[in-house]
Chains A and B, each alone.
Chain A
């Protein structure tokens, strides 16, 4: 194992910390690594993008390669909310409820144009982007995005999970962000 002090390497290792049969690293790095590779997504699929998500999940593109084949349909157990498809104003409160039920740490991915900004549906009944009701970590553009794009977005979330502070929820910036949405 080569020595490195690069903070972006998968496991952060200070000099002289690696030897035969042992290595030392920071606890948050190890936890980040574990979190990164075992994200449980909650698919909140409403329309077209959900069908592309099915393709992402299936054998050809195989989300299982990223430690995500275990879809968690219960918000309580999931780490990552994947919002796919149009969210109407009628569905907005439901989405917020699902987000509130998730435990920290939680990440949100807006997949597709509709979830990100309302997309082509600038109409009286469509919510113009889910970031109006819940905070979003990663936006994936496309109408619908290709499975590769969805995977790319998921990898961005993995990066966040790996590199963020373990107690993101305690950060004042995070608290401020949540309070903007009226979430305590």
Chain B
């Protein structure tokens, strides 16, 4: 359903590589939209560049979310979905960080919408966004001591006694 105009994507890729060079780790059209994997240091600059570029105008942050691949070398990722209304092009920007240093620059300086999305990502994965104005838990209770969406933590509520292993496979 998403139109992927090859020429346009080529133009975006070219602009990004000339601007950021080595920091763009990969650029491909994967499945349904162009995907750019970038170094985490340039995230804010990249979003700003795409926002301000007159011919592209990626001025809508559709989505921002975290992901964790516990086995990978860089387990924590943040995925941005951007949308250019003028070109009707959606792109996905990914960036990854190591387990002992899950820190990303904030996108709130470019998009006000990123505020709560980043707080949610922090709440779920413990990913820290440097420069965020108010980075604290949003959905869970503030005294929660772990990050529930990480793969190592269980889904179920641990206070239930009426479900036993035999019946529910826990």
Contact = CB atoms under 8 A, between A and B. Distances in A.
A122 B148 contact: no
A68 interface: no
A123 B159 contact: no
Interface residues on A, range: 10 to 19
Contacts of A123: 155-157
A144 B130 CA distance: 42
Interface stretch (A27-35, A95-103, A124-132, A150-158): A124-132
A124 B141 contact: no
Contacts of A126: 157
A90 B157 contact: no
B3 interface: no
B122 to A, nearest CB: 16
A90 B140 contact: yes
B140 A128 contact: no
Nearest to A129: B160
Interface in B131-166: 139-141, 148, 153-160, 163
Contacts of B157: 118, 122-124, 126, 128
Interface residues of B, number: 13
B159 A128 contact: yes
B155 A124 contact: yes
Interface in B54-93: none
Contacts of A125: 139-140, 148
A124 B154 CA distance: 8
Contacts, number: 28
A132 B139 CA distance: 22
Contacts of B163: 122
Interface string A101-124: 000000000000000001000111
A89 interface: yes
A90 B160 contact: no
Interface string A84-95: 000001100000
B156 A122 contact: yes
Contacts of B160: 118, 122, 128
Interface string A160-176: 00000000000000000
A89 B141 contact: yes
Nearest to B137: A90
Contacts of A118: 157, 160
A158 B66 CA distance: 50
Most chain A C-beta atoms within 10 Å of own C-beta, residue among B154, B157, B159, B163: B157
A47 to B, nearest CB: 14
Nearest to B148: A124
B146 to A, nearest CB: 9
A90 B153 CA distance: 19
**Nearest 8 Cβ contacts at the A-B interface:** A90-B141, A122-B156, A124-B148, A128-B160, A128-B157, A122-B157, A123-B155, A124-B157
28 contacts: A89-B141, A90-B140, A90-B141, A118-B157, A118-B160, A122-B155, A122-B156, A122-B157, A122-B160, A122-B163, A123-B155, A123-B156, A123-B157, A124-B148, A124-B153, A124-B154, A124-B155, A124-B156, A124-B157, A124-B158, A125-B139, A125-B140, A125-B148, A126-B157, A128-B157, A128-B159, A128-B160, A132-B159
